[in-house]
Structure 1
Amino acid sequence: MLDQPILLMAQAAPAGEPSGTSQILVGIMPWLLIFVIFYFLMIRPQQRRVKQHQAAIAAVKKGDQVITGGGIRGKVVKVSDDEAEVEIAKDVRIRVIKSTISHVLDPATKPAND
């Protein structure tokens, strides 16, 4: 009697089929591959852009041309730790939080209508 259940168990798992652990690995492998592709195509470049933006904002100095998040273009006249004073027209100055500055422009960049 004891020999029959062992025989049935041996027949239930043929030698050619993968075991439970390898089936799990085969099932997980496509998801890991998709994550690696997303990391290198989307996440890593976005992290690099964020670091460059933070470095540019931290390096803002007097005389830089900037564009705020609201689309206002102006010249930085004063910089403090977390704020910048931007001149948007002659004798019109606004104080903006430095994190709302979206672009720091090159000195050679001119507005389209000048």
Structure 2
Amino acid sequence: MQTIFLQATGGESMMPTLIMFGLFFVFMYFVMLRPQMRKQKQEQNFQGALKVGQRVVTTSGLHGRIAQIQEDGIVIETLSGKLKFEKSAISREFTAARFPDSTEDKK
């Protein structure tokens, strides 16, 4: 029975492999990490710019107006009463251009 041993030649360099790994990490940064960091920064700016009286939508789909802004959360006034949420639960602003108010249309 014959045994064959494969041996790597001593003259080959690991440089092409290292370059490929480096290019892979750079690609992953620009494709995955950078857009996620940009989105997170936009959410933080949006949550920091919330004002009393602004109409918002929560991540669970609740629509209402901001009644109070407190250190530990936001109180949202809805038709059924007032509810307290974390700032991170506010998903987006309820704008008139995106969601026209039906009461303003009727005259």
TM-score by length of 2: 0.74
Per mean C-alpha deviation after superposition, the further-off stretch among 44-53 and 61-70 is 61-70
Match for residue 14 of structure 2 among 24, 30, 34? 24
Query: What is the rounded CA distance, in whole Å, between the counterparts of 2:43 and 2:96 in structure 1?
Result: 17
Instruction: Report 1:2-21 matches (<5 A).
Output: 19-20=11-12
Q: Aligned partners of 1:81, 1:55: CA distance in 2, in Å?
A: 16
Which of the numbers 3, 17, 25 marks the counterpart of 1:35? Answer: 25
Whose Rg is larger?
Answer: 1
1:1-114 to structure 2, matched below 5 A, reads 19-20=11-12, 23-89=13-79, 92-110=81-99, 114=102
- Paired residue secondary structure (2:83): strand
Give 1:108 deviation, angstroms. 3.5
Q: How many Å separate the matches in 1 of 2:66 and 2:17?
A: 56
* Higher-helix-fraction structure: 1
What is the Cα deviation at residue 104 of structure 1? 2.6
Q: Give the corresponding residue for 1:9.
A: none
Rounded to whole Å, the distance in 2 between the matches of 1:107 and 1:83 is: 25
Aligned-residue Cα RMSD (Å) equals 2.2
Structure 2 unaligned segments of length 5 or more: list them. 1-8, 103-107
Partner-residue secondary structure (3-state), 1:95: strand
Percentage of matched positions with identical amino acids: 30
Instruction: Note the C-alpha offset of 1:71.
Output: 1.3
Q: Which amino acid aligns with 1:95?
A: K
